[in-house]
Every structure is written in structure tokens, then in C-alpha cells.
Structure 1
Amino acid sequence: MNEYIPVLASATTGLIALAGVWLTQRGNKKVLDQQLIRDEKKYRRDEQKEVLEMYNRVIKLDGEYMMHNDVGGPILKFNTKAYNTHFRPVIYEKYHLLDQSMLLIVAEMDERIKMCTYYGEFSDEDNISLNGSYDSLIKRMKKQIASFL
């Protein structure tokens, strides 16, 4: 019986050590999972902050430039020069972060401007469409900013 005491002591010590390792790993896993969740939330928050900063820049430009010009008729002319030189570069810096509805608006505007440039003229229908799309884009950006607050 005395020869079994060292074996039992060693086995008990081994089991206690294994239990300690298991509990430590379990605790570390929980801490790591919580850290991953915090990091993911921080990443999303930073990404959202980047998008909102871009929206703010576009809205600031909207206040600085006349996007709908009165040319003496019933239709307001869309300011494509200001859009292409000032607005479009700001939008495309964070284009991949825009929501789907804004992506579609920007793509539709770009396509229409490209076609009008190719044909060398902007019809009344083109100006109406571009003005409406632009206004819709600005409204959506303002709505996103308001919903963030």
C-alpha cells in the first residue's frame, strides 16, 4: 500500500495541474472573445466615423457651390463642373463605405454625365434627373448624419 501513495500523489497533482490549465485557458478564451468583440465594435465605429466625415465634407461643399444654376428657363442646369471637380473626388475617397442606395445614385449620376459628355449636350431631362439625384443624395447623407446623433 505504501508503494501506491507516491503514485496517487503524482496522479492527483497531475489532475489538479490539468484542471488549472483548463480553467486558465477557459478564462483566457473568454477574455479574448470579449476583446475581439470590442475590437470589432471599434472598427465599425471608426468606419462609420470615416463615412460621416465624408458626408460632412460633401454637405460643406453643397453649401459652397451652386449645384442648380438658373439659366433663364423653367429648368435648372446641373453644375457638372463643380460635381466632377469637387464633389466626386470626395465621394470616391470612401465610395466603398457608402450604403447601397447611395452607391446606385452616384453610379446613375456618373453614367448620365458620361453619356451627356459623350454626346456633347445635356438635355432638359438630363438636368432634371441629375438635379433630382443630387438632391436625393444630399438628403440621404443628411439623414444618415441625423440618425447617427
Structure 2
Amino acid sequence: MTNKLKVLFLCTGNSCRSQMAEGWAHHLKGDVIEAYSAGIETHGLDQRAVTVMAEAGVDISGHRSKHIDEFTHSRVDYVITVCDHAHETCPFFPGNGRVFHVGFADPPHMARALAKMGATEEEQLDCYRRIRDEIKAFVETMPESLNKKEG
């Protein structure tokens, strides 16, 4: 068997979207993808992300928020930016993987906006669920979708 594809999911704070992507990659594609996640900052693990992933049968409660600096000397095949801010500020990985962008909306930002309008906790969690499901749909297409983007 060939080596697993090494994929680093990158977002701003490594608290939500990149954590969900890493969790889905382990859960759905662990036989072909070695997944990691990091942020250009560290914001800690978002507990709502943990909650909605657990609802889908994926445990990310043991994850921790990691800074991109932990991976600058690691060999990765792909750095997948999952938010626009990370995509715009993604560091260069000399001799390392290709950068691939797939942007997802920011659940904490959406939930805060809803909270200001009086939304319930359940309504705020629905933002996380929607993005969780969008990330799952993307991960399900891997690694084939990454190969199609090359060239």
C-alpha cells in the first residue's frame, strides 16, 4: 500500500472549521488521508463544534488548537485553507505541498449575529450543523477532488 496523503487543514484560529475537517478526514478517509489541522492563530477548541461533530458520530473533543508554526517543517501534500482569511495569509511551505482553497462560512460569526437577534442556542447550533455537513460533503470527495484541481 502507498503512503497516505498528508493533508493540513488551515483556518484562522484552528477552533472550528479546520477541526471539523480534520475530524471528518480521520473518520471518513483515515485509510487514505493522514489529516492535521492548524491556524494562523490559536483560539482554542470551539465547544459548539465538538457538540455538533459528536451529534454526527465524530469525536473531536481530544483535539487542541495548533499554530501553523508547528507544521512549517513538516512534509504535507496539501494545505487546504478552509476560510478566506487563512487563504489570504497562508504562509509559503518551501518544497512542500500545494495550497488548495475551499472556503466555508464562519459558524461562530454566524451564531454571534443570530444571538444578537435573540436566536436560541439551538438556532445558533444550526449554523454549526450546516457548515459541519458542508465540510463533510467536501471531505467525501477527497482525495480525487484535489487531483482534479491540479493542472
Q: TM-score, normalised by structure 2?
A: 0.33
Q: Comparing both structures, which one devotes a greater share of its residues to strand?
A: 2
